[in-house]
A and B are shown apart, each in its own frame.
Chain A
Amino acid sequence: MTMLHTVNKSPFESKTFDTCLGLAKGGSTILLIEDGVYAATTGNSVADKIKNTSDINFCVLDADAQARGIEGKLAEGIKVIDYEGFVDLVAEHDTVQAWL
């Protein structure tokens, strides 16, 4: 059973990224969309959280990262995907949980 988690809030605005990270099981995927993409950036207090999590796949939605001008500041190991990639993730995982 694999789960796709979507996080759409900045980790500096809401606790949903932290909560999601704390509850997501190994092998699942966390997709950062909308303001959630800020969790994928380096040089801040949340950067280590992704770096220190090895058993979860992290993806970021390209359009939302570009809209915020952070495509050059993404942490290593985060996969950048487009909307079709988002759809493919939905199909590849058994369920989808939105952290709103």
Chain B
Amino acid sequence: MKIALQINEGPYQHQAADSAIQFTKAALARGHEIYRVFFYHDGVNNATRLAIPPQDDRNITEQWIALQKEHNLDLVVCIAAAQRRGMIDEDEMKRQGKDANNIAEGFRISGLGQLIDAGIEADRLIVFGA
């Protein structure tokens, strides 16, 4: 079965990102396909490569990156939600004339159409959020 996820909450805010990661691992272990993970609202903060959590805490972004590498996940960050929170990739940095970018490798920035597409193409859409 094709399963898509929408994540509305930032890492370390409460538990949604952790729940979504555990769900993703279990779904893959069960033989399902993760069609897309769409990061929306504060969920876009999962995609920063500049976060440095304490050494004895989990690194949520690293966990996403590891899952992405192993299973070739499509991790999509909502562009409008990202821009208003200062989350930009290299292309947007140049286009907007900014001096830095912070989207981690393995994530891509795109629009809400990607969420609608996931809703249509995937068999199930699961929302994790605040």
Contacts and interface: CB of A to CB of B under 8 A. Distances in A.
Chain A interface extent, by class: 10 to 19
Interface residues of B, number: 22
Interface of B is mostly: mixed
B34 to A, nearest CB: 11
A98 B3 CA distance: 15
Contacts, number: 52
A100 B8 contact: yes
Contact of B23 (A35, A83, A91, A100): A83
A75 to B, nearest CB: 22
A98 B127 CA distance: 6
Contact of B32 (A64, A82, A91): A91
7 contacts: A8-B15, A8-B129, A82-B26, A87-B3, A91-B1, A96-B124, A96-B125
Given A90-B126, A98-B129, 13 more contacts: A8-B15, A33-B19, A34-B15, A35-B15, A84-B26, A87-B26, A87-B30, A88-B30, A90-B3, A91-B30, A96-B124, A96-B125, A100-B129
